[in-house]
Homo-oligomer: A and B are copies of this chain.
Amino acid sequence: PLIVRSRPVNLNDTNVLLAMAATIAFAVTGVLAVAERRVDFFSAIMLGVIAAVGGGTVRDLILDVPIFWSLDLAYIRFAVLASILTFVAMSFFARPVMFSLMVYIDGLGAAMFGIGGAYKAYELGFAWPIGPLMMGVITAIGGGLIRDVLAGRKTLLMSDEVYAMPVVIGCLVMLLTLQFSPEHGPEGLLAGTVIAFSLRAVVIFWSLRLPRWFTTQSP
């Protein structure tokens, strides 16, 4: 595949703050999601960290590259700190305004992780073009899926939350840009991230749900 020489958006020095914000948001929403089930301190931290880095871990296993957090421990450190803070200050993070903020940042995280994951697969020439799309989705939702399975919650895939679709559309925009206009790679990354997050923000703001004809009926 065509290789863009620029670095992916979410790894730029100028964007490292955003990547960390996304990691933190994943950890915070990860802990909040299991809080109602009475988990202990240790399990809460583990589930928060898994929510934050689980998707990228599965992606890197499939890509057969070193796990991203083993090369830069900041991801784990921020995930652990955010999980501890969420556990300790549960009532603060569970406040409607903080919770809403976290849901939006979580959406931004999903957008950035998804686009970043798809781009990583693209750079490695992995199974173009389906591979990068799959890796984007796995990076964005994999951690949440593992957390929900371990916590015994209904997973995202079985809820009517519109969560993965914005990531899919954002990744498609980026991958089409890389395919047909590789010199605009950085713009494609940015556009994909903005579109994925905007769609998710719209879904959150208006509490949109999927239409009925979009779900299976009892046959």
Interface residues of A (CB under 8 A from B): 34-44, 46-47, 57, 61-62, 64, 66-67, 69-71, 73, 76-77, 80, 87, 90-91, 94, 126-127, 130-131, 134, 137, 145, 149-152, 154-155, 157-158, 160, 164-165, 168, 210, 214-219
Instruction: Determine which of B37, B42, B151, B157 lies in contact with A39 in the assembled complex, contact meaning CB atoms within 8 Å.
Output: B157
- Tell me the number of copies of this protein: 3
B73 and A127: CB pair below 8 A?
yes
Q: In the assembly, what is the distance between CA of A40 and CA of B46, in Å? A: 30
Q: B77 touching A39 by the CB < 8 A rule?
A: no
Chain B residues positioned under 8 Å from A157 (CB to CB)? 39, 43, 46-47, 150-151
Contact A70 B127 (CB under 8 A): yes
Closest to A131 in B: B70
Q: Using Cβ atoms and an 8 Å threshold, which residues of chain B touch A77?
A: 130
CB distance from A43 to the nearest CB of B (A): 4
> Which B residues are in CB contact (< 8 Å) with A131?
70, 73
**One of B35, B62, B73 near A57 (C-beta < 8 A):** B62
Residues of chain B contacted by A130 (CB below 8 angstroms): 73, 76-77, 80
Taking CB as reference atom, which chain B residue is nearest A141? Answer: B46
Smallest CB-CB separation from A127: which chain B residue? B70
